[in-house]
Amino acid sequence: MAEFYPYLVASLPMLHFLMKPPFSSEQFLERCCPLIPEKDGQVLRSLPLPEDYGKKCTRPPVIRQWIAFDTTLRNELVKMRAARKRLEPGTFLRPGDFTGSLSIPAGMAAILNASPLDAEKALDEARWKALDELATGHYFDLDFLITYAGKLRILERWEKIRSADGTALLNQALQR
C-alpha cells in the first residue's frame, strides 16, 4: 500500500501559517486512512496532545522529536515566567531532551510581547518552523503526514481563535 503515498501527498493542499484550514483533522484522517497501511493510520489517529506527551508508549522518531521540541519550548516558557515571578521553576518543568535552538528565541519573543495574541502567534510560528524542519527530506511517507497533521492542528487552533466571539469571551472573563 505504500505506493499510494505519492498520490495521497500530491492530492493534499499546501499549508501556510495562519491560513484557513482546507479541511478538519477528521476529514484529513478520512482522506488518508483508506490509502495507507492500517498501522500508519493508527499512528495518525493517535497523535499525542501536550497532556499525553509523558505517556510511555512506542512512537515513531518524528513524533518523539516533536514532543522533545514542544516540551523544551514549554519548559523555556516556564523558566522565563518563573523568573518574572521570582519562583523556582523546577516543580513545573517536564523532562525533555531537545537540543535544537528554536525554542529559546521563540520563548523570549512570546514573553517579551505585550499582546497575548501576538505571543501565541510567535509560539505557533516556532512550532510551524519546527514541523518544517522535521518534514525535511520526507515527501511521500508517514513522517510527512505526521508533520502535515501537526500543521493542520495549528491552523485549526487559529481558526477557532479567529471565529471566537471576542465580546462574549471578554464578558466571560470579567464575570470570574
d(CA 170, CA 34): 43
The arithmetic mean of pLDDT across residues 74-87, rounded, is 88
The arithmetic mean of pLDDT across residues 30-40, rounded, is 95
Q: Are 55 and 88 contacting, i.e. CB atoms less than 8 angstroms apart?
A: no
Return the domain boundaries, the chain. Answer: 2-10+17-174
Q: What percent of the chain has pLDDT over 70?
A: 89
d(CA 40, CA 106): 31
pLDDT at 165: 75
Going from the C-alpha of 42 to that of each of 26, 36, 138, 142, the distances in angstroms are 13, 10, 19, 11
Q: What percent of the chain has pLDDT over 90?
A: 60
pLDDT tens digits for range 128-159? 999 999 999 999 999 999 999 999 999 999 99
Going from the C-alpha of 171 to that of each of 116, 165, 167, 168, 175, the distances in angstroms are 17, 10, 6, 5, 6
pLDDT at 98: 62
Q: What is the dihedral of CA 156, 105, 94, 145, to 10 degrees?
A: 40
Given a cut of 90, is residue 102 above it in pLDDT? Answer: no
The arithmetic mean of pLDDT across residues 70-99, rounded, is 85
pLDDT at 110: 78
pLDDT at 149: 98
Query: What is the pTM for the complete model shown?
Result: 0.87
Nearest residue to 30 (alpha-carbon basis) of 47, 45, 10:
45
